[in-house]
Chains A and B, each alone.
Chain A
Amino acid sequence: MRADVSGHEVLKVTAGKTRCSSISEPPFFRALLISLALLFIGMFLVMPLTAVFLQAFEKGAMAYFAAISETDTLAAVRLTLLTAVIVVPLNLIFGVLAAWAISKFQFFGKNILITFIDLPFAVSPVIAGLIFVILFGLHGLLGPWLMSQNIRIIFAVPGIVLATLFITVPFVARELIPLMQEQGTEEEEAALVLGAGGWKTFFRVTLPNIKWGLIYGVILCSARTIGEFGAVSVVSGHIRGKTLTLPLQVEILYNEYNFSAAFAVASLLTLMALAAMAAKNFVEWKSGRQR
């Protein structure tokens, strides 16, 4: 979703007041459309965003900081970060490998491969959790064997990692494939002809070219990893202090009618989301690309 050079110029020409009246709308109609858009955004984005922080601080700053420094919450922070530290690098490496194979070579079945990479986007998060319960759960296909070996995957950290891996497989690959397809293979070929090895070509030529796309993908992947709820909730078992990630901690606190604590934890996740969006906008600005 990025515009080419001509897109930039068109935008400048069409921007605001430079449009002549015959191809623009009357002022009252403009005002009406802007109000409608603001009303919609206000109701669905600004109000929920504000409400999270209002509810979080409802019982004052002391209660807020008490809630976010509680042992269970800190355990949830640790588990969420642990999951991200495992999941994001794995999907990053996968994304680069898959994008290299898909964008630099022609082979049969490429489109099917891309569709497989996209699959997690089309699958409900609940199903993503379900498949690992079927595979590794107590009544699952490998359950009895795992039981005899005393290995726990479901209702434990490995299950949470697996479900999150499944959900976030496409993020880095999806960003890199179109980018590397656009860049073609000439630069790499030149490097090889000049005597560089395969790895050297990748690190000196390809990597600098895909740097921003890579960072962009990592930001999206991290945000989803930290925030994933549906898939993780199915495999987690909701054991306090052990298998609760932050989004699950929010759910538990809320269902216990501990609303202000739930919103305090939710506010942490909201700050994370805002930081991810700011980082994403920064990368877009830095790489000079438009959505």
Chain B
Amino acid sequence: MKKKNRGILPGFGFTIGCTMAYLSLIILIPLSTILIKTTGLGWDQFLETVTSPRVVASYKLSFSSALAAAGINSIFGLIVAWVLVRYRFPFRKVIDGLVDLPFALPTSVAGIVLTTMYAENGLIGRYLEAIGVKVAFTPLGITIALIFIGLPFVVRTVQPVLQDLEPELEETAAILGANRVQTFLKVLLPGLLPAMTTGFALAFARGLGEYGSVVFISGNMPMRTEIVPLLIVTKLEQFDLPGAAAIATVMLVASFIFLLIINLLQWWSGRYRRTA
């Protein structure tokens, strides 16, 4: 009966079997060990670990800097995507190609170069220092690193939607008497919003888990500039495996909720694009 449903193509059993085996070995079994290690702690100790002041401070820092970076990337990502799709100017193609740099550049390279640029005597840092703004080794530095890491997400989700927008839509708005601002706010923006939100969510999720680019620029001071992934590494270096696993569990739960939201958003934006 099952065979009939699956048509005449061969290899279902073989490919699905290999896929499941590989996923279990590389992803599922290793991930489940986190839960095993965490349950070894007991409920009270788990709560004590994940709500200690130093850990809570790191949640707040990771959450707020990832949020700020994703927010800034949403606005500038929209501008960059808009300019790349609609206007013609020198080096447009080069810039279009360059947008993916943060995906391809190893995070430790991004970390050391941003730290050097924003240090007191750095390329940009020395001018900011002159007006009294410190970036390296402050939460602001963490946000800058996360802006770099999350930059491609919004651009690359908004760009295809902008390209697919039909000019008739805007022409109709213009004929009906809308000015450019009205057309943008009431006609274009609603169509772009699902893609922007998806890009925002992807950049935010990436920012929460980011480690390499942040450890260099943050200075890693407990309570002040210590992000959650760094705290996990610190616990690990102190051989506190259950503690590291407990914090990782909290992060994993947060990430899963986010993955769910992203999938819902993508479904929503997909629907929007079909009906638009």
A→B interface (CB under 8 Å): 1-3, 6-7, 10-11, 13-17, 19, 22-25, 30, 33-34, 36-38, 40-41, 43-49, 51-52, 55, 94, 97-98, 100-102, 104-107, 113, 115-120, 122-127, 130-135, 137, 139-141, 162, 165-166, 169, 185, 188-189, 192-193, 198, 201-202, 220, 223, 226-230, 233-234, 246-248, 250-251, 254, 259, 262-263, 266, 269-270, 273-274, 276-278, 280-281, 290-291
Q: Are B9's CB and A124's CB within 8 A?
A: no
Q: Are B106's CB and A135's CB within 8 A?
A: no
Q: A37-B83, A119-B27, A250-B108 are in contact. Are A127 and B252 (CB under 8 A)?
A: yes
Q: Are A133's CB and B236's CB within 8 A?
A: yes
Minimal Cβ-Cβ distance residue in A for B237: A234
Q: Are A269's CB and B106's CB within 8 A?
A: yes
Q: A51-B123, A116-B28 are in contact. Are A131 and B33 (CB under 8 A)?
A: yes
- Between A and B, 14 residue pairs with Cβ closer than 8 Å are A14-B165, A37-B95, A101-B11, A116-B28, A122-B205, A126-B229, A130-B244, A139-B241, A141-B37, A162-B30, A188-B9, A230-B107, A251-B108, A277-B98
B6 nearest CB across to chain A (Å): 5
Binary A-proximity of B70-93 (CB < 8 A = 1, otherwise 0): 000000100110111111110000
16 A-B pairs besides A2-B160, A41-B99 with CB distance below 8 A are A15-B88, A37-B82, A98-B23, A101-B12, A102-B19, A120-B27, A123-B255, A126-B229, A130-B34, A247-B109, A247-B212, A266-B108, A273-B104, A273-B105, A273-B106, A291-B156
Q: Is residue B167 contacting chain A, with contact meaning CB distance below 8 A?
A: yes
Q: Is residue B211 contacting chain A, with contact meaning CB distance below 8 A?
A: yes
Q: Is residue B138 contacting chain A, with contact meaning CB distance below 8 A?
A: no
Cβ contact of A250, chosen from B36, B89, B109, cutoff 8 A? B109
Q: Are A44's CB and B104's CB within 8 A?
A: no
B interface, how many residues as a size bin?
A: 35 or more
A29 nearest CB across to chain B (Å): 8
| Chain A neighbourhood of B105, CB < 8 A | 227, 269-270, 273
| Chain B neighbourhood of A51, CB < 8 A | 113, 116-117, 123
Provide the bound-state CA to CA distance between A101 and B103, in Å.
Answer: 28
Provide the bound-state CA to CA distance between A210 and B164, in Å.
Answer: 24
| Chain A neighbourhood of B51, CB < 8 A | none
Q: Is residue B259 contacting chain A, with contact meaning CB distance below 8 A?
A: yes
Q: Is residue B136 contacting chain A, with contact meaning CB distance below 8 A?
A: no
Provide the bound-state CA to CA distance between A115 and B148, in Å.
Answer: 27
Q: Are A97's CB and B15's CB within 8 A?
A: yes
A281 nearest CB across to chain B (Å): 5
Q: Are B108's CB and A247's CB within 8 A?
A: yes
Q: Are A229's CB and B106's CB within 8 A?
A: yes
Minimal Cβ-Cβ distance residue in A for B262: A122
Q: Are A277's CB and B167's CB within 8 A?
A: no
Q: A15-B88, A37-B83, A106-B5 are in contact. Are A125 and B209 (CB under 8 A)?
A: yes
Q: Are A101's CB and B16's CB within 8 A?
A: yes
B96 nearest CB across to chain A (Å): 8
Cβ contact of A270, chosen from B26, B109, B209, cutoff 8 A? B109
Cβ contact of B248, chosen from A106, A127, A202, cutoff 8 A? A127
B191 nearest CB across to chain A (Å): 13
Binary A-proximity of B244-275 (CB < 8 A = 1, otherwise 0): 11001001100110110001000000000000
B128 nearest CB across to chain A (Å): 12
| Chain A neighbourhood of B252, CB < 8 A | 123, 127
| Chain A neighbourhood of B82, CB < 8 A | 33, 37
Q: Are B36's CB and A122's CB within 8 A?
A: no
| Chain A neighbourhood of B41, CB < 8 A | none
Q: Are A254's CB and B124's CB within 8 A?
A: no
Q: Are B104's CB and A124's CB within 8 A?
A: no
Q: Are A125's CB and B86's CB within 8 A?
A: no
B271 nearest CB across to chain A (Å): 16
| Chain A neighbourhood of B20, CB < 8 A | 113
Minimal Cβ-Cβ distance residue in A for B117: A51
| Chain B neighbourhood of A273, CB < 8 A | 101, 104-106, 109
Most chain B CB neighbours (cut-off 10 Å) among A47, A115, A228, A291:
A291
Provide the bound-state CA to CA distance between A98 and B26, in Å.
Answer: 14
Cβ contact of A262, chosen from B85, B107, B112, B173, cutoff 8 A? B112
Minimal Cβ-Cβ distance residue in B for A226: B106
Give the residues from 142 to 186 in chain B that come closer than 8 angstroms, CB to CB, to chain A: 147-148, 151, 156-157, 159-160, 163-167, 170-171, 173-174, 180, 183
Q: A254-B112, A270-B109 are in contact. Are A23 and B98 (CB under 8 A)?
A: no
Provide the bound-state CA to CA distance between A230 and B209, in Å.
Answer: 10
Q: A119-B27, A122-B256 are in contact. Are A44 and B167 (CB under 8 A)?
A: no
Q: Are A135's CB and B33's CB within 8 A?
A: yes
Provide the bound-state CA to CA distance between A113 and B15, in Å.
Answer: 13
Q: Is residue B131 contacting chain A, with contact meaning CB distance below 8 A?
A: no
Minimal Cβ-Cβ distance residue in B for A17: B88
A4 nearest CB across to chain B (Å): 8
Q: A115-B263, A124-B229, A266-B109 are in contact. Are A33 and B180 (CB under 8 A)?
A: no
B203 nearest CB across to chain A (Å): 13
Query: What are the nearest 3 A-B pairs in CB distance?
Result: A124-B209, A227-B106, A229-B212
Provide the bound-state CA to CA distance between A213 and B246, in Å.
Answer: 39
